[in-house]
Amino acid sequence: MATLLRKIGLIRLHNRDTEDPKHHHNHRAGGGGGGPQSAALRGKGGAKSGGHKPPQQPHPAGGAGDASPGPGKGKGKRAAELAPRDKAPPPPAGAAGAPGAGGPRERAPGARAGPGPAAAAAAAAGGSLVPAARQQHCAQVRSRRLMKELRDIARLSDRFISVELVDESLFDWNVKLHQVDKDSVLWQDMKETNTEFILLNLTFPDNFPFSPPFMRVLSPRLENGYVLDGGAICMELLTPRGWSSAYTVEAVMRQFAASLVKGQGRICRKAGKSKKSFSRKEAEATFKSLVKTHEKYGWVTPPVSDG
């Protein structure tokens, strides 16, 4: 009886396992028999025989290779990523230097590079700025120097000279010489003709005090005393060669007063000629002529005892 019951139990267990859906599912997944282990064995065998290949991953755009490179491919991928960074971007169409844009051609080895349009424009701008700044500096130096000269002349105690600005211009002066040597014939002429002063005109160039002023006699009409046609004055210190920036207007006027006496200057009293005024154009022409003459033959320096 016990043996019969055991047989019946085994039969029922066999029927239950046969009817279980999980049993049928595992049976189909295993290829009909053998269980999971047999399926794994069959997978390894298929991989070795090459009969079943895994699906390949699609390549990324640009052909950079597999998503997970094997040994030896990492360096190539890194170089491919860095290469576009090292290369300069191509010039836009129509830009200077772009192919077919009419830009500058490549320079041959050993050839010198000339200034480009931007450099030439900067050089031209810089060249125009330098003279402008220099002119402004010279104007400031000239103005400061002449203002000082005016203050010094106004403080003179002997009233040797006085100054009037022509049309309120700081660079154009009318200077009155009130005194000369009282023992001279010129001083006697001034007393006899009731001439209170000798009037001169001084114009100061842009680069004064580094260049001399142009000085000429206006009135009265003088003869001799190194006063020439047009009222030009023959004095070496009034030329670029004999001038020094240390000379003041007062010093120049004292030298002129001494040269008048030394050269026996007189007031012209001839009828008709005494009333003829000097002209600036004639004075400038005469002064240029005498400068050329003295540059050729030299200047005669008077003795120290003559002042």
Cβ atoms of 257 and 180 closer than 8 Å: yes
**pLDDT band for position 115 (cuts 50, 70, 90):** low
Secondary element (H or E) of residue 266: strand 266-267
Output the pTM of the full model: 0.56
Strand partners, 216: 201, 232
**pLDDT band for position 301 (cuts 50, 70, 90):** low
- For the domain made up of 132-297, give the CATH fold: Ubiquitin Conjugating Enzyme (3.10.110)
Report the distance separating Cα 274 and Cα 302, nearest Å: 29
**pLDDT band for position 138 (cuts 50, 70, 90):** confident
H, E, C per residue of 195-212: CCCEEEEEECCCCCCCCC
Given this model, what pLDDT does residue 101 score?
47
Choose among 293, 286, 202: nearest CA to 252.
202
Indicate the length of the chain as a whole number.
307
**Residue 5: both structure tokens together:** 């019951």
* Integer Rg of the chain from CA: 56
Which residue do the tokens 């210190």 mark? 237
pLDDT digits (tens, 9 = 90+) for 91-104: 555 444 444 444 44
Q: Which of 186, 190, 198, 234 is catalytic?
A: 234
Chain center to CA of 84: 38
Cα–Cα distances (Å) from 86 to 63, 82, 257, in that order, read 20, 7, 83
Q: Which residues contact 257 (CB under 8 A, 6 or more apart)?
A: 177, 179, 180, 181
Q: Please state the domain extents for the chain.
A: 132-297
pLDDT digits (tens, 9 = 90+) for 181-207: 999 999 999 999 999 999 999 999 999
Cα–Cα distances (Å) from 61 to 57, 66, 67, 149, in that order, read 12, 11, 11, 86
Secondary element (H or E) of residue 174: strand 172-177
Whether 268 sits among the annotated catalytic residues: the reply is no
